[in-house]
Structure 1
Amino acid sequence: GNLKFEMHGHKMHGKWVLIRMKGKGEKQEPWLLIKEKDELARPNTEFSVIDEMPESVSALPMPGEQKPKGRARKAAPAEEAVTPAVQTATKAAAKAPATAGAKKAVAKRASAMPDEAVKADLPTSLAPELATLVDKPPSQPEDWIFEIKFDGYRLLARVEGKEVKLFTRNGHDWTHKLGSLHTAIFKAKLPDGWYDGEIVVHDEQGKPNFGLLQLAFDGSDTAQIVYFIFDAPYLSGYDVRDVPLEARRELLATVLDKAGSDTIRFSAEFGTDPEELVLAACKLGLEGVIGKRRTSRYVTRRSPDWIKLKCGHRQEFVIAGYTDPQGSRTGIGALLLGTHDEAGVLQYAGNVGTGFNETTLKDLKKKLDALATDESPFPPQAVAGRKHHWVKPKLIAEVSFAEWTSSGSVRHAVFQGLRADKPAKAIGREKVEHVEEKVKTTPTEPGAPEGKLPADFKITNAERLIDEQSGVTKLDMVRYYALVGVLMMEHLKGRPVSLVRAPGGVGGELFFQKHADIGKLPGMQQMDPELDPDHPPMLEVGSALGILSAAQWNVIEFHTQNAVGKGYETPDRMVFDLDPGEGVAWSAMQEAAQLMHAFLDELGLPSFLKTSGGKGLHVVVPVKPGLDWDTMKDFSQAIVRHLSSTLPDRFAFKSGPKNRVGKIFIDYLRNGRGATTACAWTARVRPGLGISVPLAWDELAGLKAGDQWNVKNAHTRLDRGNEPWTGYAKAARSLTAAMKKMDFKAGS
């Protein structure tokens, strides 16, 4: 519980809060006494009540009383009277009570928007600011605020009128999962805005408990969830990201104070002595402390202005498999853990065999059985022993551990729970940085991608503007490809690739290259020259590093052919590019794609959908290799001719702007030998830098445009990743039966 009150004493003035934080082994319940941020608060560097007024208040008169005679009783030492956290929290002393006029002035300032605030529409999506893990507190802690690091899920709330939506840090909509919280926010009548915070469930001792949070979701009983809000990047019709942190928090505190909700709470500041605060947090079994620079703006990426000081080691791992249980244990023995390296390869990170109960073991076994596979997700010989059960690397475990071994494995690991708010592809080994280090090439634009780059990867002209409309720089572009590289490799692997270089950015001169000197492009490789003997060797992206090397070489677009190198003369897919002519409404594009899907289904051909990143859509048909290039192209042409002759008011058979005014051209020319199609997850050299994204067919109705996702909002799609194309390889069909249905004969 907590108790808020206002004091008008000799030493302490203004608003305070007592928070009960029960700790194991404590003789008495520990309480945190916190000075709330109000007009009476002062930093310890400005005035220390302990140093300036050490005498006991029992020797001083209360307001309206006479000072008692006799010697004052000596005050007890602070460290004997309170816990370190309480001592830290109470070092912020109070001024003399403000006059009524001063209080009105403060209230007026709080209600007015700061100069840095800009009138703006509420965006439909928002990436959160993320904290950097550091090895020690900052050298000037007075420049920072410190909050408790909550053991929960990051959550962003979007409030617009009567509509409330709740999103994970990766943009996944969890509104339907959090009915009680949705209702609480709705009833609180918060102003329009984006609210950033953490959801937790408290245990009987009043501490956030990640396991209880998981149980709340598993049992669909989320009524006990509390939402601690610590920032509001958009508020009351304003973009306040450029407003300094302290001022943003003052605005937020005013809003939440008016809301008066026990479910929605303001994340309080805990003094300016981070070392003592971390010690107190660890003693109480909390996860650690978050530090934030007081003058910092809100940026939608990982930032050195937000730091994490953890109690021990704790992070997320991908579950790659498990061992058999021993003795009386049921379900599983230990989980096999992994993290992705900088090239996107899953590397073994050790085992965790403690922290489970019977319920957890049974639940894990059920979930792991559904993901069973015969292939190890790790590189060959990465894990010693044979009695391992492998699973598809989809689940994420949060694990605490004592240390990393020299071989890159965790020691004395304890399972804390499963996480459902992050994509497995994004899990890597968390690196500790020095808090004072400043990354000179840190992007400054809101929404910049967060992809991690290899430590020794060099980017030339990092700040060069690529796209004026979005503000994306070359560094942002490279970081985007670091973010999606693993996803992209699933579509690039083994295929000839063509590169679109744009040294001058969007609007500048473009260079379409099928061949290049790979000496300048680590991770890129040349294919067998015999595949295309009359030309230089074609290119192939060998690893995610190759994508980054190409991006450093000013490549923005990646295009792939319809065959892999090992079977180049027999294509394994057929592509239809739906390209709208002038005056075609988006609803017509959606209908056209559905018609294409239905017709292919009638032919017995499964098809998969993706955005083009531009104005159109791509429909891709996986095919069992066997037909040559000419036959594939001719059959795709026959399909398009049939659709355009059946529905001539919708589809144009001939290309060219004049032939498709008000119509859609289904481009079958992508199926010729050497022809290419924009790869999934590639950016496009167009204003806004749209990207090509895999979709499920049931998502088509809600799609707003072919460039709905772009380099700056790609993070909102990472939780789906390539999942909409699950089963793509197994869906491949021979075209023989479809050709018979259309009475198509090769070479006719």
Structure 2
Amino acid sequence: MVDTVPTGANWLHEMKYDGYRLEVAVGGGGARAYTRSGLDWSERFAGIAEQAAKLKVRSALIDGEAVVMDQDGRSSFQALQNALKGAPGKIDYFAFDLLELDGEDLTALPLTTRKAMLRKILPKNDARIRYSEHIEGNGEMLLHSFCDAGLEGVISKQADARYIGARSGAWLKTKCIKRQEFVIVGWTPSDKSRAFRSLILGIHEGGALRYAGKVGTGFTMDEIRRLMERMEPLDRKEATVKAPRAEVRGAHWLEPRLVAEIAYTEMTNEGTLRHPSYLGLREDKKAEAVMLETEMPVTRAARNVSPTASEVTISNRERVIFPESSITKGELADYYAAVAPVMLPWVGSRPISLVRCPQGRAKKCFFQKHDAGSFGEAVKHVGIVEKDGHEEPYLFIDTAEGLLTCVQMGTIEFHGWGARIEDVEKADRLVFDLDPDEGLDFEAVRDAAFHFREILRSIGLETFPMVTGGKGIHVIAPLVPEAEWPEVKDFAHRLAQAAAQAEPQKFTAALPKAQRKGRIFVDYLRNQRGATAVMPYAVRARPEAPVAAPVTWKEMETIDRPSHFHIGDAKELVKRAASKALTRWGRADQVLPDL
């Protein structure tokens, strides 16, 4: 979100729709609809999926928004909520980008080219699936006309930018009114009925929930009854936020699970909402991911498209970080600036741990997953409940500025959870780290990776390999985030044990190193709550600055070492990521199978 509409002929401007962002995948004679966090909502949007399946394509991946439009051409989130409850035929889909067509990855093409291809595959007279029109330039004038018409705002997109599956300055939004999601943490009772008078709201800040005020308008009687039903099972005795007693007298407190969309005029100096109005529940958002959205100067936001290390102040650029090859902190920052567009879709918006080596990799290095605020605003926090019940602020980033800020603070390596901040309890990948015993050559590891690919394929999981820049190979299966961590860990453990039992001379799932002699350890422990794995395109704190990189199985046939790529390969890594569709997790329709 930015403070003004960007100017210049290189910006396209579209209407900001008031609905649910959906990615529609077409192929195999059908179509599926997924939310931003990877939830499969094909049943909820069955009409859209049915129409998408009729497109005259072998396959396609379309980005757009599901909305309900009124007779004046305005989209309404409340109307969409009502339609989802009983009138799905009123829901339309505005398509605004095309990521894949007939097996070809289009994400590296300019936006104008992608939109032209999108227009060609969409039916001209289909009221259910529509093309999102745009204008070139004159964005400020468009914003004024939209605001006068009571619309939500404008989305501005760089015309020549590639598709980046993460936040970047290539897409900016300017709003007519202030509105965003808040967590419902409680309610105050009405003195006229058994229902509530107002909802108590919270927002995550610094990795913890804080009080954001109350909302008591915008409800219909049907919505009040629905909310009471949803809130009843979430009752708790203790408050989850600290609030002025006079404002929450007689409050019923809730587990912070429900997310509401709220419109408001401004935020007070105390951090509470002025003139808030309830718009509806956001069932596509998880409470853990709800944070206050603030306007950024448009000039600063646009820098996140193709950042340079100079745009984040990198001190001591000449300090040698890799002594054996004389690679400096400045060169490390330049590498991360170059690969940010292809790295952020993997590392962005998931809890991360940093390997920080402020004095260089040959001196003291340490893991860091929490922060008290020393990193600044570009490095964000998500509150995650620990085993003992208290909440800790975990780090995450979603912009190139955040990535480079970590580097400025001495970070070399980035390791991430197998889940996104939208729902940290559900895995969106399986990672099997094939770790060879001392003395085994890389050919043995490579053969083991192909063998593991076939094991997973036999139970319905497609995978891709990643050279880690360390000793081994990661075999990764992308998942729809449905299975929770206990199930995922159990599955991975039993699969590793089965592989070891089938070929005990090749594999072991035993944790003690003494039992791994001459074999490859199938490390399944990456697949548990709180565990991390090195992120694609992360530099390793090892001699010669090797880089972790996803590859195709065809490439895996000839790669001769896990440190195949290094910090000097930034241009090649960006180029090959675009040409080989290696910027996303891969198949979005895989679920954890029965084993």
Structure 2 length-normalised TM: 0.62
Residue deviations 1:677-718, cap 9 Å, x none? 99434546696479xxxxxxxxxxxxxxxxxxxx9768999x
Aligned to 1:400, what secondary structure does the other structure show? strand
Cα contact 1:557–1:678 (8 A) shared by 2? no
Aligned twin of 1:394: 257
Distance 1:134 1:352, change over 3 A: same
For residue 167 of structure 1, what is the amino acid of its counterpart? Y
The within-5 A match list for 1:200-279 is 200-219=67-86, 221-257=87-123, 260-270=125-135, 272-279=137-144
Structure-2 separation of matches of 1:315 and 1:666: 39
CA distance in 1, matches of 2:190, 2:81: 23
Match of 1:184 in 2: 51
> Residue 503 of structure 1 contacts residue 509 of structure 1 at CA under 8 Å; is this kept in 2?
no
Query: Could you tell me which residue of structure 1 aligns to residue 298 of structure 2?
Result: 435
Q: Which of the numbers 177, 197, 220 marks the counterpart of 1:333?
A: 197
Counterpart amino acid of 1:292? Answer: K
Counterpart Cα distance in 2 of 1:374 and 1:467: 51
Q: List per-residue Cα deviations over 1:421-458 (Å, max 9, x = no partner).
A: 2222222111112223356565679xxxxxxxxx9998
What is the CA–CA distance in structure 2 between the aligned matches of 1:163 and 1:150, rounded to whole Å?
26
Residue 138 (str. 1) matches residue 16 (str. 2):
no
Cα offset for 1:406? 1.6
Alignment-derived partner of residue 80 in structure 1: none
Cα distance in structure 2, aligned partners of 1:203 and 1:196:
22
2:231 paired with 1:365: no
What is residue 572 of structure 2 aligned with on the other side?
none
For residues 91-135 of structure 1, give each alpha carbon's deviation from its aligned partner in whole angstroms, at most 9, with x where no partner exists: xxxxxxxxxxxxxxxxxxxxxxxxxxxxxxxxxxxxxxxxxx222
Q: Which residue identity lines up with residue 135 of structure 1 in the other structure?
A: D
Equivalent of 1:554 in 398, 402, 411: 411
Q: Distance in 1 between matches of 2:215 and 2:586?
A: 30
Q: In structure 1, give the amino acid aligned to 2:84.
A: F
CA distance in 1, matches of 2:154, 2:503: 63
The answer to whether the 8 Å contact 1:320/1:337 transfers is: yes
> Which residue type is aligned with residue 236 of structure 2?
T
Aligned-partner residue type, residue 224 of structure 2: L
Work out whether residues 580 and 589 of structure 1, in 8 Å CA contact, stay in contact via their aligned partners in 2.
no
SS state at 2:299 partner: coil
- Post-superposition Cα deviations, 1:642-669, rounded to whole Å, max 9, x if no partner, equal xx999989967674586574886999xx
Alpha-carbon distance in 1 for matches of 2:258, 2:280: 11
Assess, with a 3 A threshold, how the Cα gap between structure 1 residues 555 and 382 changes in structure 2: closer, same or farther: farther
Residue identity in the other structure for 1:553: G
In 2, the alpha carbon distance for the partners of 1:382 and 1:714 equals: 47
Q: In the alignment, residue 32 of structure 2 is paired with which amino acid? A: K
Instruction: Note closer, same or farther for the CA distance 1:168–1:482 as it changes in structure 2 (3 Å cut).
Output: closer
How far is the alpha carbon of 1:243 from its aligned partner?
2.7
The answer to whether structure 1 residue 378 and structure 2 residue 256 are counterparts is no
CA contact 1:467–1:689 (8 Å) conserved in 2: no
Provide Cα deviations, 1:375-413, integer angstroms capped at 9, x if missing partner: 322257698544222212222111111122121111111
Within 5 A, what are the aligned runs for 1:308-323? 308-323=173-188
Q: For 2:107 and 2:501, how far apart are their aligned partners in 1?
A: 54
Q: Give the partner amino acid of 1:299.
A: I
Higher RCO, 1 vs 2 (CA within 8 Å, ≥6 residues apart): 2
Q: Is the 8 A contact 2:57 2:101 kept in 1?
A: no
In 2, the alpha carbon distance for the partners of 1:610 and 1:271 equals 47
Structure 1 gaps of 5+ residues are 1-132, 446-454, 493-498, 524-540, 560-576, 593-605, 620-639, 671-676, 691-710, 721-748
C-alpha separation in 1, matches of 2:587 and 2:204 = 20
Is residue 199 of structure 1 aligned with residue 56 of structure 2? no
User: What are the ranges of 5 or more consecutive residues in structure 2 without an aligned counterpart?
Assistant: 318-328, 377-390, 417-431, 437-444, 460-483, 541-545, 551-581
Kept in 1: contact 2:100–2:106 (CA 8 A): yes
C-alpha change, 1:275 and 1:314, in structure 2 (3 Å) is same
Q: Which amino acid aligns with 1:234?
A: E
Supply the AA of the counterpart residue of 2:2. Answer: V
Q: Identical aligned pairs, as a percentage?
A: 29
Closer/same/farther in 2, CA of residues 359 and 251 from structure 1, 3 Å limit? same
Deviation at 1:254, TM superposition (A): 1.9
Match of 1:608 among 473, 486, 492: 486
> 2:293 & 2:406 partners in 1: Cα distance?
26
Q: Within 2, Cα distance between the matches of 1:392 and 1:715?
A: 34
For residues 281 and 657 of structure 1, the distance between their equivalents in structure 2, rounded to whole angstroms, comes to: 67
Letter in 2 for 1:255: I
* Count of aligned pairs between the two proteins: 457
**Larger radius of gyration, structure 1 or 2?**
1
Aligned-partner Cα distance in 1 for 2:501–2:347: 41
- Partners of 1:588 and 1:381 in 2: CA distance: 58
CA-based RMSD? 5.2
Give the drift of 1:364. 0.7
User: What pairs with 1:735-746 in structure 2 (closer than 5 Å)?
Assistant: none
1:71-150 residue pairs with structure 2 within 5 A? 133-140=1-8, 142-150=9-17
Would you say the 8 A contact 2:169–2:304 is kept in 1?
A: no
Q: Residue 7 of structure 2 contacts residue 139 of structure 2 at CA under 8 Å; is this kept in 1?
A: no
Q: Cα 1:679–1:222, aligned 2, differ >3 Å: closer, same or farther?
A: same
Of 138, 155, 169 in structure 2, the residue corresponding to residue 290 of structure 1 is 155
Q: What is the one-letter code of the residue matched to 2:198?
A: A
Which of the numbers 662, 680, 683 marks the counterpart of 2:531? 680
Q: In the TM superposition, what is the alpha-carbon distance from 1:419 to its structure 2 partner?
A: 1.0
1:158 to 17, 21, 25: 25
User: Which amino acid letter does the alignment assign opposite residue 116 of structure 2?
Assistant: E
Distance 2:349 2:269 in 1: 27
**How far is 1:587 from its partner?**
7.8
Q: Are residues 467 and 587 of structure 1, via their aligned partners in 2, closer, same or farther at CA, if it must alter by over 3 Å? A: farther
Offset from partner CA, 1:479-534 (integer Å, 9 cap, x none): 9888344xx7xxx9xxxxxx8557899xx87966599xx999889xxxxxxxxxxx
